[in-house]
Chains A and B, each alone.
Chain A
Amino acid sequence: MSLRPSSNLALSSPWLITFVLFWLFPLVYSLVMGFTDYQLLARSYNWIGWDNYRELFIDPDFLAALKNTFVFVLGTIPVTTVVALLLALMVSRRFRGRSFFRAGYFLPSVTSMVVIALIFTNLYQRGGYVALLTELVGLTPPEHGFLYDSSTALLSIMAMDVWMSVGYYMLIFLAGLKAIPEELYEAAELAGAGRWRRFWSITLPLLRPVALFIVVINTIKSFQVFVEIFVMTRGKFDTATVVYFVYEQGLQTQFRFGYASAASYLLFVIIAVFSIIQMILLRRRQSVW
């Protein structure tokens, strides 16, 4: 028995209404707002075309936030991906206490970002554990703490982010490793392939879809970094990112919703371009592998 088109529409209407009201409308509305000088407290607003976008490209605060965001993305993604893969390879082997390590690495991913950020704020402060460790290896920690110095603040947050997210991506790699048929390794071994050769010729190529997924979602997530910045530095010491800039412009200073919307859509375009490039590059590499 097949349902009539009107019944289909009726059945899907709860989702459809929610989607239109709470997703589609705000998305389109904010896109339109990006072309206006809309301020939350103003009684009226005007259509200003591309002015917000033009202003963004000469706004030193936005450009600094964009630079910090790129540093964050380009600094964390390769490290997170490689470390997650190494951990996945390590915990995929059979050894005593394997479950403990798997759970241990994954635990930060299910902990509140705010809680972790507050703990790391303490670890990074003057006289904190990180400063003591730095002194132990013969280096001089920043005088007032890692988060109060422009040369170390963003790096410190990036390190925390890698520590926090690596367990989640390890788990995804682990699922990818489990999906590789054992027969391939056995056949390669019979053909005389060593461990390194098996890794390069079997593991890495077959993990490509998983790696692509990880790199793309991590890119999207990293471009949207906000909570860590908000909790740990409030954008001070050269740590403001694009999303923090949007928050500042939209909800903290002049409530410039139009300008903040334009910045959000610019970020959206950057993320989309990056994701497409990554997908193309990783697909090409598959043909090489």
Chain B
Amino acid sequence: MFKNVCLIIFCFLILSASAQAVTIEWWQFWTDPGVKPTVEAIVDEFEQANPDINVKLTDLTWANGHEKIVVALASGRGPDVLELGSDWIAQFAESGHLLDLSDYLAKDSSEFHGYGMAAYKGKLYARPWILGTRVLFCNRSLMIRAGYDSIFAPVTMDQLKEAANKVHALGDDIYGWGSNTAEKHRLYKKFLPFFWSYDARLFSDDNKLCLLASNASVQALNRYKELHDSCGYVANQRGIEDAFLDGKIGFIISGDWLLKRIEKEKRDIDFVTTLIPGLKFPGRSFLGGEFLAINSATKNKDAALKLIDFITLPENQVRFCKANRSANPSSKAAQEDEYFKSNSHLQTFIKQMSMVKHPPVDPDWVNIESIIEEAVEDALFGSGLPAQALYEARLKIEALKKK
């Protein structure tokens, strides 16, 4: 009799415990076999630490993840926690699909880089997770063949131009500069470092005037075009990186994924990474990244916040960065880890983080970037002069803003 009572009580306890457990869904983009197990391990540990929370992990791809999120949010469903690209936050915040996390996130905002990209109309909507910037990759062998010291790396735009042309002079099949073709969502990330390094601005402080056609902007596009015309190897990002790894290009702008590729494919290439060149000193690079946000339709806000806190813990960010060879965790504490300090290339990325800018947090940014890319394409591949192309782009952006 006693045994039966104990059994009933035990079953009751199990049932009541499981009834209290909540399940939250997290949509994320890390499907790489080298990274996914780490993400799963972090989630497993979270569940062990929080037995009342179950996490349902759903993978998205960069090819159609954005569409899936939009459709899910528009239908009023969607996951509790979302991994979002920095460019999407304003769009979803504007449409009211993200939870305002200002009160919760503001208290530890000084511990993370990149909160500027999550702030829209004075409110915080997401926590930065893994950030991404671009640096200059230089083929040292080609630089030495072109007459430079082994410790040389261009610091200014003039040095870059001179070095790229000297490298190009080495042979018909050697190019000084990797020039991106009209590749959507990529071309602007290559042009904006030039743009910002020339101190050009997209908008006035009050965000009302578009400054895309300023003298500084035209100078930046002129310099970008000079490199393209004089010694550019034109291809998409993958093609440029292929050619760089094959020793055909002297200088390219790329991200930390290239370090991962060099290591993974065991590429025998003598290269250095350095900060994006500027006018007199190193310039400014592009900043973007992955953010964790909460669907405004969630019924499990507390559990979702706990998950975000756990994923973005410094030690978990370091684990993730090691698995993905990412160079830029958002956590300032994570950046102090020995893993980053012991690698000179990762250090370049971390140093570049202090000289970066991110695009404006604007729901129309996807359209604005498209207009900027069209202007750059027109200047590089069409018949348009840089000044004319930027002026027309400015008119288009102003018309878009008026809408």
Which A residues are within 8 Å of any B CB, using their own CB?
Answer: 40-43, 125-126, 143-145, 148-150, 233-234, 236-237, 251-255
On whether A42 and B181 interact (CB within 8 A), knowing A125-B235, A253-B366, A254-B367, the answer reads no
The reply to whether A148 and B182 contact each other, CB–CB distance below 8 Å, is yes
- Asked if B9 is at the interface (CB within 8 A of a chain A CB), the reply is no
Given contacts A126-B234, A144-B234, A234-B183, contact A41 B381 (CB under 8 A): no
Is B71 in contact with chain A by the CB < 8 A criterion? yes
Across the interface, A148 reaches (CB within 8 A) one of B96, B97, B181, B370, namely: B181
- For A149, give the chain B residue with the smallest CB separation: B381
Question: What are 16 A-to-B residue pairs whose CB atoms are below 8 Å?
Answer: A41-B74, A42-B95, A43-B95, A43-B96, A148-B181, A148-B182, A148-B234, A149-B381, A234-B183, A236-B183, A236-B377, A237-B377, A252-B366, A253-B366, A253-B370, A254-B366
> Which residues of chain B in 39-98 are interfacial with respect to chain A, using CB atoms and an 8 Å cutoff?
67, 70-71, 73-74, 91-92, 95-97
CB closest chain-A residue, reference B95: A41
A233 proximity list for chain B (CB < 8 A): 182
Which of B's residues lie within 8 Å of A, judged by CB?
67, 70-71, 73-74, 91-92, 95-97, 181-184, 234-235, 239, 366-367, 370, 377, 381-382
Nearest B residue to A254, CB-CB: B367
Q: Given the complex, which residues of A lie within 8 Å of B382, measured CB to CB?
A: 150
Q: Which 8 A-B pairs have the closest CB atoms?
A: A41-B95, A236-B182, A144-B234, A40-B74, A148-B181, A234-B184, A251-B67, A253-B366
Query: Complex Cα distance A236/B236, Å?
Result: 12
- Residues of B near A253 (CB, < 8 A) are 366-367, 370
Q: Give the CA-CA distance A181 to B170 in the complex, in Å.
A: 69
Chain B residues within an 8 Å CB radius of A251: 67, 70
Assuming the contacts A41-B91, A41-B97, A125-B235, asked whether A255 and B70 have C-beta atoms less than 8 A apart, the reply is: yes
Asked if B381 and A150 make an inter-chain contact with CB atoms under 8 angstroms apart, the answer reads yes
Residue of A nearest to B383 (CB): A150
Cα of A145 to Cα of B97 in the assembled complex, Å:
43
Q: Which residues of the other chain, A, contact B73 by a CB distance below 8 angstroms?
A: 41
Q: How far, in Å, is B246 (CB) from chain A's closest CB?
A: 12
List chain B residues, Cβ under 8 A from A43.
95-96
Distance from A125 Cβ to chain B, minimum over Cβ atoms (Å): 7
Chain B residues with Cβ below 8 Å from A144 are 181, 234, 381
**CA of A237 to CA of B373 in the docked complex: distance in angstroms?**
12
User: A121 — nearest CB in chain B belongs to which residue?
Assistant: B236
Whether the Cβ atoms of B370 and A237 lie closer than 8 Å is: no
B381 CB contact (under 8 Å) in A237, A254, A255: A237
From residue B371, how far is it (CB to closest CB) to chain A in Å?
11
Q: Contact between A148 and B381 (Cβ–Cβ < 8 Å)?
A: yes
Shortest distance from the beta carbon of B367 to any chain A beta carbon, whole Å: 6
A238 to chain B, nearest CB (A): 9
Give A41 to B366 CA distance when docked, in angstroms.
15
Q: Find chain B residues with CB under 8 A from A255 CB.
A: 70, 74
Distance from A51 Cβ to chain B, minimum over Cβ atoms (Å): 13
B255 → chain A, closest Cβ, in Å? 20
Looking at A41, A42, A234, A253, the one whose CB has the most chain B CB atoms below 10 A away is: A41
B95 cross-chain contacts in A, Cβ below 8 A: 41-43
